[in-house]
């Protein structure tokens, strides 16, 4: 983890959400067959990416906090596509509706791109 970032814990959390959103098989297995009483589905992602961090509106604001400048474009593209899908849902926490959305494959692909970039910055591999 890059020590120059002010909030590396938020970066770890973002990477966790990107890992989940970049794996459609994981989504289908975990979101629809929970093995515990924990909250599963798309709600945590919405809360973090859109409600708490507003990455769909201002990813650049996270530079130096938990993003590097070189990651802003990928995160912005991903978060905008994710937000567009959420905006189209009747119930914003409808995980099945999100996965069935015609743009969901694009969200998954953009999550993969963003995840790879963040992991590369951190010197990790997927």
Quick: pLDDT tens for 20-64: 999 999 898 888 765 655 557 888 899 999 999 999 999 999 999
**Cβ-count burial of 3 within 10 angstroms (0-12 exposed, 13-18 middle, 19+ buried)?**
exposed
Which pair of structure tokens corresponds to residue 42?
A: 């798309």
- Give the pTM: 0.88
State residue 54's pLDDT score.
93
């Amino acid at each position: 983890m890059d020590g120059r970032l002010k909030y590396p814990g938020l970066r770890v959390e973002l990477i966790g959400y990107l890992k989940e959103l970049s794996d459609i098989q994981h989504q289908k297995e975990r979101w629809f067959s929970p093995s515990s009483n924990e909250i599963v589905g798309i709600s945590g992602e919405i809360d973090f990416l859109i409600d708490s961090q507003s990455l769909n509106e201002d990813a650049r604001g996270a530079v130096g906090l938990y993003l590097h400048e070189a990651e802003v474009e990928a995160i912005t593209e991903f978060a905008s596509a994710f937000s567009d899908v959420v905006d189209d849902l009747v119930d914003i926490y409808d995980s099945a509706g999100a996965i069935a959305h015609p743009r969901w494959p694009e969200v998954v692909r953009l999550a993969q791109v963003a995840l790879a970039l963040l992991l590369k910055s951190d010197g990790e591999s997927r």
